[in-house]
Amino acid sequence: MILWGKISQFSVFMVLQLLAGYRKSGLLELEDNDERAIIYLKDGYIEAVSVPRSDHLLGARLVKGGLIAQADLRKIIIASALREKREFLGITLMNSGMIEKQVIASVISDQAYENTLELSNWVEGTFKFVIPTKPVVFPISPHINVQHLLLETSRRLDEGQRPTRAKLSLPDEDLCESCTSRCTHDEKDKYLKDGICLWRNMPVIVREAIFSPDRSALKEEEEEKYSDLPFL
């Protein structure tokens, strides 16, 4: 383990940005009570996001999207189980010729975005980043840019989408006490809701591009602050 901390002090999004910035490869493990999630990174990119969901299985998502019939999926799974060497379901589906690799990669990518949305309301628990002795290799990976992932997640949150699984949330005042973001009252009114701070989780690039303060006003304030110093 090379990095550890509390989610209440450093949000999941903040830690992801840090790891992506240093192009790290490894596992970001998140724990909150009895729940555990894992984010797999390679060279700073997202390879997979695993969260405790009931509908995260690839086969179920393919059936739900109308990409394969339930009966056909069942036949493939049974045939695969009878083989000596088990393989990733996506590889089996590709080899069968029923679904193309691009389609499977797209479904896995959508799953990563949805799972990241689920993690946005994790405000308690711990995180740790570890580098396994044997690298985890995914046969099909969306290779998602972390910044793009966080931008898309922030967009969905800002549009009102919410995680499907309820998590224990902190009172708004407690969440603010542990936060180092310098947000205004207007930003709190809009982005602090039901113990989930969208501003706190929002990537820095979004804040700077859309919600940056008036730089000229800040400059005038600094000049006035130091105007009486003899060496200026």
Give tens-digit pLDDT for 153-211. 888 877 888 777 665 555 656 667 656 666 777 777 766 766 566 666 554 444 444 44
Whether residue 20 sits in one domain with residue 98: yes
Per-residue pLDDT of the chain (232 residues; tens, 9 = 90+): 589 999 888 889 889 999 999 999 999 999 987 788 999 999 999 998 888 764 557 888 888 889 999 999 888 888 877 776 667 788 888 888 888 888 988 988 888 888 888 888 888 899 999 999 888 888 888 889 998 988 888 888 778 887 776 655 556 566 676 566 667 777 777 667 665 666 665 544 444 444 444 444 444 444 444 344 343 3
**Residue listed under structure tokens 């009114």:** 189
Residue 195 gets which letter from DSSP? T
Judge if 147 and 189 occupy the same domain: no
Choose one of 121, 136, 167: the last residue of a domain.
167
Q: What is the DSSP string of 43-98?
A: TTEEEEEE-S-SS--HHHHHHHTTSS-HHHHHHHHHHHHTSSS---HHHHHHHHTS
Backbone phi and psi for residue 229, each to the nearest 5 degrees, phi listed first: -80, 135
70 to each of 63, 66, 75, how far by Cα in Å?
6, 9, 9
107 and 15 part of one domain? yes
> Whole-number mean pLDDT of the chain?
77
Q: Which pLDDT score is estimated for 4? A: 94
- 214 lies in which domain range? 169-232
Picking from 149, 167, 185, the residue at the C-terminal end of a domain is: 167
What six digits make up the tokens of 106?
């797209």
The predicted model scores a pTM of 0.67
Tally of domains in the chain: 2
